C-alpha cells in the first residue's frame, strides 16, 4: 500500500515529511559514521598507528554499519521504520559519546564498532521511505534520501575546525548530541509508513523470516550488491581515506585536506537525488553504464603516479616530469564523485523495482555488501600503500574493480538480449522483470 500525490515530495504531506526528515536524519547518521576520517588522524598520531592500523580503525565503523543493515532492513519490514530508525539513532549516539572513554587502540576499535550502528540507518530509511511512494516516484524519492551521504562532507567541513579548537573528544560529544536530538525530532515529526499502519489496524502478522530472506537466493541481488560495493563502498572508502591521502601526497594541513576531501564527498552525495530522477526517466541500467564507464576513466587517470622519465632526443637526453596537480586531482575527484553518486541511486532503483515487497531485506543485503566495501577498501588502501610505496595504488585497485563490474554487467545484458529480453524494457516494465534470471 503506497500513496502517490502530485505533492508527494512536499513537507505538507505525510510522505513528504517522512522523506525529508528521514533525509536529514540520515545526514546526521552519515556524519557520525565517517567521523574517524577526521578524528582518526589525530588518534593515529596520538597512538602511533601505522597505515594499516589506521585503515582498520577508520573502516571498523563501516563494518558494523554494513553488517547491521541486513537485520535492520528486515526489522524495518516487520516492525516499521519509524521505531527502528529512532532506536538506531539513540544507540549510535550513546556509542559515539562513549568514544571519549577509549584510550588504547583496542578500546578504540571496540568503540568504533558501536559508532558504526549509525551507518545501518540507511537500510532502515530506504525501506521506510519506499513504502510511501509508487514505482514512478521511487527513484526520485530514494535518490533524495540517499543524498544524506552528504553527511560525510559535513564532517569534513566542520570537524577539522572543531578538532583544532577543542580537540577530538569534543567532536565526538558534539556529533553524539546532534544525533540524539535528531532521534527525538524524527520520532515526533514523522508517522508510521502505510504498510505498518495497515498491519496495526488489521492485526496482520508480519511475514516469516524465511519469506523475507527468500529473494536473497537470486543471483541478480548479488550482482546489484557488487555494483553497490563500488558505487557506495568505494565512495565511503575514499571519503575516509582522502584526508590522509591529501596530507601524505600534497602536504596539506588537516583543515585544508578536510575541505578538499569534501569537494569529492559533496557531488558524491547531493547528486544522488539527480541519479534517482535519471533512473526514473531513462532507466537505471543506462545510468549504470555511464557510472562505470566514466569511473573507469577517472580512476585510471588518478592511478598514474608521479613520474620522472628521460627521452632520447636528437640532441641528447630530454628529462620530463609528470604529476597530477592538486587542482586537477580535485577536478577528477569531483567527476568521479558525481558518477558514483548517480550510480548509487540507480542501484536502489533496481532494488525497489525488482523487489517492491522485500526492499528491507534485499536493500539491506545490497547495503551490507556496499558498506563492506567501505570497510575492506580503506584497509586495502593502507596495505597497498605500505607494500607498493605508491599513494596512487588505491586508485589502481578501484580501476580494476570498476572494469570487472562493467564487464560483468555488460555480459549479463548481452545474455538477456540473446534470450530476447530488451535491456530497456527489462529496466522499465514489470512484465519483463519476471523474465530475467540474472
Nearest-angstrom CA–CA distance, 143 and 438: 24
Contact in structure between 224 and 11 (CB atoms under 8 Å): no
pLDDT computed for residue 438 by the predictor: 35
pLDDT computed for residue 11 by the predictor: 64
Q: How many CA atoms lie within 13 A of 431 on its CB side?
A: 2
pLDDT computed for residue 46 by the predictor: 87
Q: Where are the alpha helices (DSSP H) in 326-358?
A: 326-354
pLDDT computed for residue 123 by the predictor: 83
Contacts of 315 (CB under 8 A, 6+ apart): none
Nearest-angstrom CA–CA distance, 187 and 182: 9
Its pTM stands at: 0.70
Contact in structure between 99 and 118 (CB atoms under 8 Å): no
Nearest-angstrom CA–CA distance, 245 and 262: 13
What CATH code would you report for 14-433? 1.20.1250.20
For the record, the C-alpha cell of 168 comes out as 577530538
pLDDT computed for residue 227 by the predictor: 94
pLDDT computed for residue 143 by the predictor: 79
Helix axes 135-146, 272-282, angle to 10 degrees: 160
pLDDT computed for residue 63 by the predictor: 84
Nearest-angstrom CA–CA distance, 269 and 277: 14
pLDDT computed for residue 301 by the predictor: 94
pLDDT computed for residue 216 by the predictor: 67
User: What digits encode the pLDDT tens for the residues 394-438?
Assistant: 999 999 999 999 999 999 888 877 776 544 434 443 333 333 333
Per-residue pLDDT of the chain (438 residues), as tens digits, is 444 444 566 666 888 888 999 999 999 998 998 888 888 888 888 888 887 788 788 878 888 888 888 888 888 888 888 999 999 999 999 999 988 888 889 988 998 999 999 988 988 988 898 888 877 777 778 778 877 878 877 887 888 888 888 988 999 999 999 999 999 999 999 988 888 888 777 766 666 555 556 666 777 888 888 999 999 889 888 877 888 888 888 888 888 887 787 777 777 667 877 888 888 888 888 999 999 999 999 999 999 988 877 888 787 788 887 888 889 998 998 899 889 989 988 998 888 777 776 766 777 778 788 878 888 898 889 889 889 989 999 999 999 999 999 999 999 888 877 776 544 434 443 333 333 333
Amino acid at each position: 500500500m503506497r500513496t502517490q500525490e502530485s505533492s508527494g515530495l512536499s513537507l505538507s504531506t505525510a510522505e513528504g515529511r517522512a522523506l525529508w526528515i528521514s533525509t536529514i536524519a540520515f545526514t546526521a547518521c552519515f556524519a557520525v559514521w565517517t567521523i574517524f576520517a577526521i578524528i582518526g588522524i589525530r588518534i593515529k598520531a596520538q597512538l602511533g598507528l601505522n597505515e594499516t592500523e589506521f585503515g582498520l580503525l577508520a573502516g571498523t565503523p563501516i563494518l558494523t554499519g554494513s553488517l547491521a543493515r541486513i537485520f535492520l532492513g528486515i526489522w524495518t519490514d516487520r516492525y516499521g521504520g519509524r521505531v527502528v530508525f529512532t532506536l538506531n539513532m539513540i544507540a549510535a549516539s550513546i556509542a559515539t559519546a562513549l568514544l571519549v572513554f577509549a584510550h588504547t587502540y583496542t578500546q578504540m576499535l571496540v568503540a568504533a564498532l558501536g559508532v558504526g550502528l549509525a551507518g545501518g540507518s540507511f537500510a532502515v530509511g530506504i525501506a521506510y521511505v519506499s513504502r510511501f511512494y509508487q514505482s514512478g516516484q521511487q527513484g526520485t524519492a530514494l535518490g533524495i534520501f540517499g543524498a544524506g551521504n552528504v553527511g560525510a562532507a559535513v564532517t569534513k567541513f566542520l570537524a577539522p575546525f572543531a578538532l583544532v579548537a577543542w580537540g577530538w573528544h569534543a567532536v565526538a560529544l558534539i556529533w553524539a548530541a546532534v544525533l540524539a536530538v535528531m532521534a527525538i525530532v524524527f520520532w515526533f515529526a514523522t508517522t508510521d509508513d502505510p504498510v505498518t499502519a495497515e498491519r496495526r489496524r488489521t492485526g496482520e502478522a508480519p511475514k516469516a523470516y524465511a519469506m523475507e530472506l527468500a529473494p536473497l537466493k537470486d543471483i541478480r541481488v548479488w550482482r546489484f550488491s557488487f555494483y553497490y560495493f563500488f558505487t557506495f563502498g568505494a565512495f565511503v572508502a575514499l571519503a575516509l581515506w582522502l584526508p590522509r591521502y591529501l596530507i601524505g601526497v600534497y602536504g596539506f594541513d588537516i583543515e585544508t585536506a578536510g575541505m578538499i576531501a569534501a569537494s569529492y564527498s559533496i557531488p558524491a552525495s547531493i547528486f544522488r537525488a539527480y541519479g534517482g530522477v535519471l533512473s526514473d526517466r531513462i532507466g537505471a541500467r543506462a545510468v549504470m553504464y555511464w557510472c562505470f564507464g566514466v569511473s573507469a576513466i577517472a580512476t585510471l587517470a588518478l592511478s598514474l603516479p608521479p613520474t620522472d622519465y628521460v627521452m632520447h632526443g636528437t640532441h641528447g637526453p630530454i628529462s620530463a616530469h609528470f604529476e597530477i596537480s592538486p587542482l586537477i586531482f580535485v577536478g577528477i575527484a569531483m567527476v568521479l564523485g558525481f558518477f558514483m553518486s548517480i550510480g548509487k541511486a540507480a542501484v536502489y532503483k533496481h532494488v525497489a523495482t525488482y523487489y517492491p515487497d522485500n526492499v528491507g531485506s534485499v536493500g539491506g543485503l545490497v547495503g551490507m555488501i556496499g558498506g563492506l566495501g567501505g570497510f575492506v577498501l580503506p584497509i586495502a588502501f593502507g596495505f597497498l600503500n605500505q607494500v607498493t610505496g605508491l599513494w596512487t595504488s588505491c586508485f589502481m585497485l578501484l580501476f580494476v574493480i570498476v572494469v570487472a563490474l562493467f564487464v560483468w554487467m555488460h555480459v549479463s545484458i548481452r545474455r538477456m538480449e540473446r534470450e530476447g529480453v530488451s535491456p530497456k524494457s527489462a529496466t522499465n516494465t514489470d512484465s519483463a522483470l519476471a523474465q530475467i534470471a540474472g
